[in-house]
Amino acid sequence: MQPKSSSARSPQAELLADATALHAAVSDLVRIYQFRDRDKICCYDISVTQCYALEALAGRGPMRSQALAELLLLDKSTTTRVVDALERKGYVERRADAADARALSLQITRKGRTLYETINRELIAQQAEIVAGFDREACAMATEVIRRLARAAEARFVSGISVGDCAPGTGCSPRRRD
Amino acid sequence: MQPKSSSARSPQAELLADATALHAAVSDLVRIYQFRDRDKICCYDISVTQCYALEALAGRGPMRSQALAELLLLDKSTTTRVVDALERKGYVERRADAADARALSLQITRKGRTLYETINRELIAQQAEIVAGFDREACAMATEVIRRLARAAEARFVSGISVGDCAPGTGCSPRRRD
DNA sequence: GGCATATAGTTGTCACATGCAACCTAAATC
DNA sequence: GATTTAGGTTGCATGTGACAACTATATGCC
């Protein structure tokens, strides 16, 4: 697993070794974070997806349901329900869109923003513990790599084929019958 | 969001800025990978969790159900069902444990290993595309940071309090009533 | 203006993932 | 040998999310 001394290895092999190590690390991270994030749920009273929605609305301002769905890579029906939950709890508001009577303007409430900030602060504090062990350079590098990974994955996901060759975001997933 | 020139900022502030950037990037990555990984599901005929299980068995050799559960941070009942599915599809086998009649030895089959390797190869190839754009140093650094993040998250999750102050792995999550 | 079509959201329905509790069987302990 | 503990499985409930059908509005074409 660990890249050995790179002497006597082709650039090809090095690339593969690096990619393998990175993949293993990322894969692990993602798996574990799914649990970590689920914890976040119960402590405050929202789900992970709800939290992402809150984040989007906090960071980008009001938007339509459709825009939110695209941003979060969710189906519009799922988005409706996510917003339902958030609205019920008073974290977002649905306002009529002035320009289009069909559309909505989703807005985070003050209460929602406060909640989001609280959660975010805690999560960032956790990262800070780790970041403290690295120099800034290394941290910036890692952050950049992670960003690119995310963008690349998103692009792959949105645009089409991901792994194997099923349809993309169209959501081929649930078609599986165990 | 972007760390500005670090002149005139306290180390505290720098740390916070770095942590914030890292958190945002990781958070994004995790969210997107959940979708990307779900794609992986349908293309080959297993779920994400099933794939993690296959990975564990491929990488660490035969183990008991309980050990697998601990490794994947899953409940033992969930693990049972994950293994059910994999066994039904012929990717793993349950063998009697010689030493303990209650226990099982879970083993990946040749077919299972082949599948895992196929999936893994594709995923690694995807990483390779991204890795190709970085120098090895940066890549190694990022990999290391990501590993530490994962380990830290795992430790936090397993040991106790995560965010807020609900119980840990005990699975406080589902107790929420939307 | 009026009908055909497209678009924004909502609701019905279904499948899947997963935790907890109760249970069963086999070990371990006394 | 009886009680307790441990490894797994099954019953049940909940959360999540996709897809499809539907409603209401907007847009285009005549």
Give yes or no for residue B30 having a pLDDT over 80.
Answer: yes
Give the Cα separation of B129 and B133 in Å (integer).
7
CA-based torsion, A156, A162, A165, A167: positive or negative: negative
Choose among B15, B29, B173: nearest Cβ to A150. B29
Best CA proximity match to B150, nearest among A17, A109, A19, A26:
A26
Nearest CB to A148: which of B3, B130, B162? B130
Nearest residue, CA→C1' of C16: A174
Instruction: Indicate yes or no: CB of A150 within 8 angstroms of CB of B43.
Output: no
What's the pLDDT at B160?
52
> Cβ of A35 and B156 within 8 Å?
no
Nearest residue to C28 via alpha carbon and C1' = B100
Average pLDDT of the residues in B51-71:
95
pLDDT, residue A171, reads 39
- The nucleotide lying nearest A47 (C-alpha to C1') is D15
- Domain extents for chain A? 46-157
CB < 8 Å from A in window 11-50 of B: 14-16, 18-23, 25-45, 47
Q: Kindly indicate the confidence band of residue A40, based on its pLDDT and cuts at 50, 70 and 90.
A: low
The predicted model gives B123-147 an average pLDDT of 87
Taking an 8 Å cut-off on Cβ atoms, the answer to whether B130 and A149 are in contact is yes
Distance from CA of B99 to the nearest CA of A (A): 31
Mutate to test the interface with B, among A29, A75, A118 (most CBs of B within 10 A): A29
Of A5-19, A148-162, B15-29, B151-165, the range with the lowest mean pLDDT is B151-165
**Number of Cβ atoms within 10 Å of the Cβ of A42:** 20
Q: Looking at residue A45, what is its pLDDT?
A: 81
pLDDT digits 0-9 by tens, B44-56: 888 889 999 999 9
Fold of B44-159: Arc Repressor Mutant, subunit A (1.10.10)
Dihedral sign, CA of B32, A29, B162, B27? negative
pLDDT in tens, A50-102: 999 999 999 999 999 999 999 999 999 999 999 999 999 999 999 998 888 89
Question: For residue A178, is pLDDT > 80?
Answer: no
Report residue B159's pLDDT band, with 50, 70 and 90 as the boundaries: low
Burial class (CB in 10 A: 0-12, 13-18, 19+), A14: middle
- Which has the higher per-residue pLDDT, B165 or B7? B7
Using the predicted structure, report yes or no on whether residue B43 has a pLDDT greater than 90: no
Q: How far is the CA of B120 from the C1' of C19 (A)?
A: 29
Torsion angle, CA of B166/B172/B174/B176, rounded to 10 degrees?
-30
A43 CB-near residues (< 8 Å, 6+ apart)? B162, B163, B164, B165, B166, B172
Which two structure tokens, joined as six digits, stand for A112?
């929602």
Average pLDDT over residues A3-9: 54
Residue B174: which pLDDT band, with cuts at 50, 70 and 90? very low
pLDDT at residue B10, rounded to an integer: 80
Contact B50, B79 (CB under 8 A): no
Residue nearest to nucleotide C24 (CA to C1'): B102
Q: Which nucleotide is nearest to A173 (CA to C1')?
A: D18
C-alpha pair distances (Å), B153 with each of A28, A102, B87: 10, 43, 31
B7 reaches A (C-beta below 8 A): no
CA–CA distance, A80 with A49 (Å, rounded to integer) = 12
A46-157 in CATH: which number? 1.10.10.10
Q: Do the Cβ atoms of B162 and A37 come closer than 8 Å?
A: no
Does the nearest atom of strand C lie within 7 Å of A103's Cβ?
A: yes
Q: Is a pLDDT exceeding 50 seen at residue B106?
A: yes
Bases on strand C under 7 Å from any protein CB: 7-12, 15-22, 25-28
The verdict on a CB contact (< 8 Å) between B150 and A32 is yes
> Measured from the CB, is B74 under 7 Å from any atom of strand C?
yes
pLDDT at B8: 65
User: pLDDT (tens digit, 9 = 90+) per residue, B71-101?
Assistant: 999 999 999 999 999 999 999 999 998 889 9
